[in-house]
Amino acid sequence: MKKLLGVLLAIAMTWPAGATVLSNVEVKGEIQTIASDAHHNQNQYYNSGVNTRVLAGLSAELVEDVTANLMFQYADTWGDNPDNEGKTVQEYWDNVKLVNANVVLHNLLCAFDLTVGRQFYGDEDSVVMYLGPNHYNAEINTYVNSIDAAKLVYSDDVKTFTAIAGTIVNLYPWGTKTKIDLYGADFRLNITDNLNAQVYGYDVAVRGDDMDPDEDQHSGFYGAKLGLNTEAFRASAEYARNFGGHRLIKEHKDTGYMVKADVAADIEKVTARGTFLYAKQNFFALGNYTPGLLVGHKLGGNGIWEYTDENGVRMFNVGLDFKPFEKWVFSLDGYTFQARTGHATTYEADLTAKYNHNEYVQLFAGFGYAKYTKNEKYTANFSKDERETPDNFKGQIGMLIKF
C-alpha cells in the first residue's frame, strides 16, 4: 500500500508546471482483505487462506471539463512464498498492475460525457455486465478486470444512454494470443418517480490466432429490466437472451436465456428479500451476481450459469436483513439451487454480519452451509468419499476500507 501511494504522490508532485491540477487532486481506492476456510468436495472452486487486494489511484481536473483518472492494483495471498522469505522490491513491482488510466471530457457538445482509456464498467450486482472490483467474495478477491474503451454517455433527469466499444483486460484465458472486444449500448428511462426501465445489448468478439475457425465470431446478450422503487418496497424483473454466430444478433437453435426477479420490503429495522433466477442452455454473461457464500460463487464466477449437466440453473432465495444497532447489519439467507428442470436440489443457509466502523471502514463475516442432493445421477462424477460427505460449509471474515 505504501508503495502505491508513494508512486501516486510522485506523479502528483511531478505534474507539468503549466497544469493547475494540484488543488483538485483526489486520492481514491480501497483495501479488501478476506480470510476464509471451506470444507467442500469441490475444493478447486473455494479458497482457504487469506487474500488481500489493494486499489489506489488519483483523480484530477486537468483543465476545465477534463478529468484524468489513474489507478493501480495489487493482490496477494498470505504465505504464498514457500521459503518464508519476503519478496524483493522488484518482485512486488512486477505484480503492481494498471487498472484505470483514462480521461473524461465533460459537457462534450453541451450534452455528452466521453471517457477514453482503461476504466471500470457496469453495475456490481448485475447478472449480465460488470467489469470492476467485487466485494465480500473470498474466491475472487484477486486482480480486478477492466476495459480499454471509449464510453459515451448522455444523461438528464429522465433518461441515460451509454454506448461503449473497447477491449476487455484480463478476463478469461481463451488463448494465449486472443483478445476480447466488447461493443454495447445501455438505455435507462425513469418512467415515473418510482418506475424505471432499462434495455441493453452487448456483442463479445473473441479474436486470436489460436481460435477455432468454426467457433462463433460473435457472441453476446441483450435484454430488458423493469424496476419499482418506493420508500418501503422494491421490485424488479429482468429478461436476457444470448446470441452467437458469424454475424451479429444471430441466435442458435437452443439459445441461452435468463430470467431474474427480486422483491424487498422494509419494516422498521428489518428488510425482507426474495429472488428467483432461472437460466437455460448455459446462459453466458459478464456479470458479477454471486448469490450466497458457496454455490453461487461457483455459478457467478465463471461467466456461464450451469449448475448440472442439464445446462442451466433454477434458484430461489429468501432473506432477512436486521439492523439492531446503528453500525450493525445481520443477514440470514436461505437458497435452493437446482438443475433448470427442478432436479438435483442443493439447500444452502448463510448467516452474515457487517459492522460499519465509520463511513470508510467495514468489518464483515459469514458462515454458509450447503446440503447437496443424494441423487446418484447427479453425483456420479464424485468419488466414493465425496458421495459419503455431501454436506459442505464455509466461513469467512474480512475488512473493507474505501478512501
pLDDT at 13: 47
* pLDDT beneath 70: ranges in the chain: 1-23, 43, 81-85, 170-177, 208-214, 246-247, 300-302, 308-310, 374-390
Summarised one tens digit per residue, pLDDT across range 351-398 is: 999 999 999 999 999 999 999 876 555 555 555 555 555 688 999 999
Q: Which residue shows C-alpha cell 437472451?
A: 241
Strand boundaries in 177-230, DSSP class E: 178-190, 195-208, 218-229
Total count of residues recorded for the chain = 403
pLDDT at 388: 55
Residue 30's SS3 state is: strand
Name the DSSP letter for residue 286: B
Give the whole-angstrom CA distance, residue 127 versus residue 296.
Answer: 12
Give the whole-angstrom CA distance, residue 184 versus residue 33.
Answer: 33
CATH number for the region 2-402 comes to 2.40.160.10
Give the whole-angstrom CA distance, residue 161 versus residue 174.
Answer: 31
Give the whole-angstrom CA distance, residue 61 versus residue 24.
Answer: 6
Reference 178, options 211, 129, 216, 132; nearest CA is 211
Cβ atoms of 131 and 124 closer than 8 Å: no
Domains of the chain by residue range: 2-402
CA 90 remoteness from chain centre: 30
Q: What is the pTM of this model?
A: 0.87
CA 37 remoteness from chain centre: 21
Cβ atoms of 383 and 389 closer than 8 Å: no
